[in-house]
Copies of this chain bind each other. A is one copy, B any other.
Amino acid sequence: MPRDVSKRKLRAGIVGGGQGSFIGAVHHVAVELDGQAEVIAGAMSTDLQRARASAEAWYLKRSYDSYEEMAEAESKLEEGIDFVMVTTPNHVHFPVAKTFLEHGIHVVSDKPMTFDLEQAQQLVSLVESKNLVYALTHNYTGYPAVRHARALVRQGEIGEIRKVLVEYIQDWLMTAEEKTGNKQAGWRTDPSRSGIAGCVGDIGTHGENLLEFITGLKIKSLCADLTTFVEGRALDDDANMLLHLANGGKGILTCSQIAAGEENALSIRIYGTKAGLEWHQMEPNTLLFKPHGQPQQILRTGLGYMSDDAKAATRTPAGHPEGFYEAFANIYKMAIADIRRVESGQKPEGGYPTVYDGLRGMQFVYAAVESSQKGVSWVDMP
């Protein structure tokens, strides 16, 4: 029976995100940023003391010792949570999402969607069988300039796409950070918690998602050169890939966590028969539009000429920079709007990454790893 969600903030629960976590705190800010939801319950750590301290620091109403317990309890409460936020290491994404979906609770999950490809396929089936929202925080698609880029492609302003250059380079794992007690580094470089890929799963998938989101084109095949530069590390920390796109376009995707001096340098450049596009995550409110034979244009979020989709993702007037949190919050805003729709018997409208994007991400990771293992040769994507 749908709840009445029309006159109140939604109630959210969080799994993971205990003190010391990076992404949990991001989800916390993002989910509440637009005043449409409040985090009230959590199973924030498997370290129970940390779980409670974390819940208290966030003034949560209810803290649980396990996500199973939380799903069970919340699903029965009159004022139980409307949706859960999954912010754990990768290997727990699937069981948590599955558990809450099975308890009739909507899910917003961090990426990658699951630990392995099989789980991803199972989750697709599960979500398809439920009338519940499942949103995946490929947060970079929440930037208004990214959404405007997609709009320009859709409107034909770029023409037929010929070449795409995607980069996501960082340096934070350029030394054996995982041996210093850094929790983030610990699980991300551990195959038993991260999955079959390191850098490719962690950030390469963002690149893949961004490319397919903006261009509307599928990667048809790829040739991926994964490398582990830091001695003793089990997973890749760098990758260079050649891409073939479904329309005959060509591309490059490079991702790295050992690129000295780089912070979080996600960027995409797209070249079509009519124009080029360029976007950099670290200057997110600017989109370069490069029509052939005419001056390059600096498109800026918050200005009147932007597309409706970009405007819907923008809160401030031009020149008042929005950033990472606001883009992240845009995913939540759309997911929350859909939860309200579903709970009031309407059809969801989407706009955020879904279980299909999550599956696509896992397929990408598997193709990349397979390509690299086969001597860096070409592998088709599904």
Binding site for B on A (CB under 8 A): 7-9, 22, 25-26, 28-29, 32-35, 38-39, 56, 58-59, 158-159, 162-163, 165, 167, 170-172, 174-175, 223, 225, 227, 229, 238, 240-242, 250-252, 254, 256, 258-265, 269, 271-276, 281-284, 288-300, 302-305, 315-326, 375-378
Contact = CB atoms under 8 A, between A and B. Distances in A.
A189 to B, nearest CB: 17
Nearest to A274: B260
B163 A258 contact: yes
Given A240-B250, A376-B223, A263 B29 contact: no
Copies of this chain per assembly: 4
Given A35-B58, A325-B325, A377-B377, A276 B261 contact: yes
Contact of A324 (B252, B281, B316): B316
Given A7-B56, A163-B256, A225-B242, A296 B297 contact: yes
A220 to B, nearest CB: 13
Given A242-B225, A252-B240, A258-B162, A295 B297 contact: yes
B322 A325 contact: yes
Contacts of A304: 293
A276 B256 CA distance: 13
Given A7-B56, A305-B294, A324-B322, A263 B300 contact: yes
Given A240-B252, A321-B282, A326-B323, A376 B378 contact: yes
22 contacts: A8-B59, A28-B35, A35-B39, A35-B58, A163-B259, A171-B276, A223-B225, A227-B250, A240-B242, A240-B251, A242-B376, A252-B254, A259-B271, A260-B291, A260-B292, A261-B275, A263-B303, A295-B305, A296-B298, A297-B297, A321-B323, A323-B326
A25 to B, nearest CB: 7
Q: Which of A59, A260, A296, A322 has most chain B Cβ within 10 Å?
A: A260
Contact of A171 (B59, B159, B262, B292): B292
A254 B164 CA distance: 11
A282 B319 contact: yes
Q: Which of A259, A294, A299 has most chain B Cβ within 10 Å?
A: A259
A56 B56 CA distance: 28
Contacts of A227: 162, 250
Nearest to A175: B292
Contacts of A317: 22, 172, 263-264
Contacts of A292: 171, 174-175, 260-261
A170 B281 CA distance: 23
Nearest to A266: B319
Contacts of A159: 260
A292 B171 CA distance: 8
B378 A378 contact: no
